[in-house]
Amino acid sequence: MTGKEKIISLLDELASPEKMGSFFMNNATLNFLFIRPNGNPIIAKGFEEMMNSGDVVQEKAEITKIHRFEFLSDNIAMSIFTLGSKFRYKGTPNDDLPKVTSIFKKAGDFWKIHWMQRSTVDSNLSLWV
């Protein structure tokens, strides 16, 4: 499996509602940060706790499109993708298509997610060439 295939496989695993809560604990670097739409960062353990708190009930998630993917070096890659996401937060339904920017670092033979930033604002998809 190529590096790109391994990373896309990671993204597909991230989009699994059953695995989303524990995903970063198993697949992120030690200094991983996830920047939420409100701008507040969260570490892997915090994300796991949030997803397992009962406040978030994930119904559906899927990578709907990878807009950009490139290797920045032998050990660093980045991607920007749309994540179809349907969930309830404290009972309030959410059905959105956030754009997610992610940076990956290679650790030995494994690719790990180092950084993610999620945006829920509508964007002009024609700019993603």
The DSSP code sequence of 12-76 is HHHT-TTTHHHHHHHHEEEEEEEE-TTS-EE-HHHHHHHHHSSSEEEEEEEEEEEEEEEESSSSE
Residue 127's pLDDT band, with cuts at 50, 70 and 90, is low
- pLDDT over 70 percentage in the chain: 93
Residue 87's pLDDT band, with cuts at 50, 70 and 90, is confident
Residue 126's pLDDT band, with cuts at 50, 70 and 90, is low
